[in-house]
Homo-oligomer: A and B are copies of this chain.
Amino acid sequence: MKCVTEKSEDRIREAAKRVFLKKGFDGTTSRDIAKEADMNIALTNYYFRSKEKLFLEVFKDVLEEYFQNMLTILNKDIDIKTKISEIIDNDFYMMKKEPDLVIFIMNEIHKSPQRLFPDMSIFRQVRETYLKKQLEEGAANGTLRPMQLENILPLIKCGVEFIFMGKEIHKELFMMTDDDFAKYAEEQKEHIKAMVCNYLVIG
């Protein structure tokens, strides 16, 4: 049933995002997208010229969605333990809200990296956050273990993202139900916070 208040182009873009996230580029057909948007198949090419171009638009949005909230937190003027905790909490929230997002990004970039990095100004923004300055100052005055942004950031993010990307294999491996997993993930989140802070913050 069509929502008349919304532009067709946006309807297609949003439908495409849902389908691409779930099935990946190779697993998605133009007809899947048209059906999800409840529109004629020809309209996907009328508005976006090709499946490829539609995908690139969606992918750019998805990649920015992945970085945007983290970027805001990285630039906050808060102490570094709180910052790490907030990044991890945000990651946790994101993985629950959009369980397909990270594995989708990882997989699509892994399969064809060259095609997916056109401008990506968001990358520069991640490189130049306030956290970087905090790390330098902390290392200089001896409160933090000397580490670069590229070393600490993956340590912060990998824990939560890894168990959610591998949710089904972790469930099977450790014989967990969905409820078990939810409780397990909460435990794991606190372990990660403590482990990373213990390692980075001296004393």
Contacts and interface: CB of A to CB of B under 8 A. Distances in A.
Interface in A109-127: 109-111, 113, 117, 120, 123, 126-127
A165 B106 contact: yes
Contacts of A162: 154, 157-158, 161-162
Given A107-B107, A172-B113, A172-B123, A188 B151 contact: yes
A23 to B, nearest CB: 7
Interface in A153-203: 154-155, 157-159, 161-163, 165-170, 172-176, 184, 187-188, 191-192, 194-196, 198-199
B169 A154 contact: no
Given A24-B24, A27-B26, A151 B109 contact: no
Main secondary structure of the interface of A (DSSP, over half): helix
Interface of A: 22-24, 26-27, 100, 103, 105-107, 109-111, 113, 117, 120, 123, 126-127, 147, 149-151, 154-155, 157-159, 161-163, 165-170, 172-176, 184, 187-188, 191-192, 194-196, 198-199
Contact of A117 (B22, B24, B172): B172
Given A26-B27, A174-B150, A195 B155 contact: yes
B166 A111 contact: no
A66 B24 CA distance: 23
Contacts of A109: 166, 168-169
A196 B191 CA distance: 10
